[in-house]
Structure 1
């Protein structure tokens, strides 16, 4: 065998290694572990100083614990929604290749770091930089999830029978979700309250419309396809 043939064979073996496809068991285990730890760590931000009098404790609960608890609820809902979307996504994926695994790790990196922007929002919720960091973190999560969906769709990683049109629509929704949150980071420097209102509309309104079937009713009523 000549050196050129050996070199060509090595290239083919390397390409074969890159194209290997793996079962999803370990992806499920790692992903669920990251989500559960991130959601659990959120509660550590809810605390008040020790050895307080009754009146001081009431003040601490109102000024410190209540904002932290509100942020905990928001972040728990956000991460929980991302977990549900991730769970549904991987239910439709048949297997993963090396690049898909890398993209999933990058997505999990955003999830794992969420307790930090949540801490910033709980303690500095009136500061634009804290609100902006939180918004960008959520937005990046949406965009990373959309990238996973597009890659799986474009590289034939979906299970047989999965509707590619529905997947493409869900990926577009994830992109819109991510971009809205990233854009809301700029709004934080104008009014943090307006940014919170934007989040409420996106998270609350979107959830209500999609879960109650209002989109389906409108589609039937006006004949949208």
Structure 2
């Protein structure tokens, strides 16, 4: 065995540490969302606490949508790593880029909650769509890092389903860009498309099977 092959094999280790680190980052990102819901302060005599809490409905809505979206992304990430059995530098970098954008989600969520019922709601929705566009690109990069020639996948994984997943990932970035363009005409439609895409990528495909399943 050549020294180059030995180095490559040493580099391609199991994914346990990567998955544990990723799970921790997802957990932190999903926890940070609630910090954007602020406790009402300095209530005037003409405004009750109940009214102030009800007035936070945009923050509640943004929290629920973003929580579910990150949860779905974690499910998707978890399912991918059922067949990604080895790591290399490219996979680690692409996974790190994905996690960077995942941890960024609380910020566009806060912007959306603050401006969804204001004149600048279009800019907030476009900013949100751009964030998810980069997340979709990152998921593509992660999957391609592992699936190219099935280099890092379980060799028993179903080849046709791997191809189908690769093909389905193509649609993520352009559709999230479309949601940003759609925000120019309807913020509600843009947000529905963003949420719909998250559910589509989570539940529209079967589990990746191996030839022995």
Provide the TM-score with structure 1 as the length reference: 0.77
| Higher mean C-alpha displacement, 74-83 vs 120-129 | 120-129
Determine if the alignment matches structure 1 residue 198 to structure 2 residue 193: yes
CA contact (8 A) 2:108 2:127 kept: yes
| Higher mean C-alpha displacement, 158-167 vs 80-89 | 158-167
Deviation at 1:208, TM superposition (A): 9.7
Give the aligned partner of residue 146 of structure 1: 140
What is the count of residue pairs matched by the alignment? 200
Structure 1, unaligned stretches of length 5 or more? 1-8, 214-225
Equivalent of 1:164, from 137, 159, 163?
159
RMSD: 2.8
Determine if the alignment matches structure 1 residue 135 to structure 2 residue 129: yes
CA contact (8 A) 1:150 1:171 kept: yes
Identify which of structures 1 and 2 has the higher relative contact order when contacts are C-alpha pairs closer than 8 Å and 6+ apart: 2
Larger gyration radius, structure 1 or structure 2: 1
Structure 2 CA distance for partners of 1:86 and 1:203, relative to 1, 3 Å: closer
Give the aligned partner of residue 173 of structure 2: 178
Give the aligned partner of residue 20 of structure 2: 29
Structure 2 CA distance for partners of 1:200 and 1:34, relative to 1, 3 Å: closer
Structure 2, unaligned stretches of length 5 or more? 207-213
Higher helix share: 1
Deviation at 1:111, TM superposition (A): 0.5
Provide the TM-score with structure 2 as the length reference: 0.81
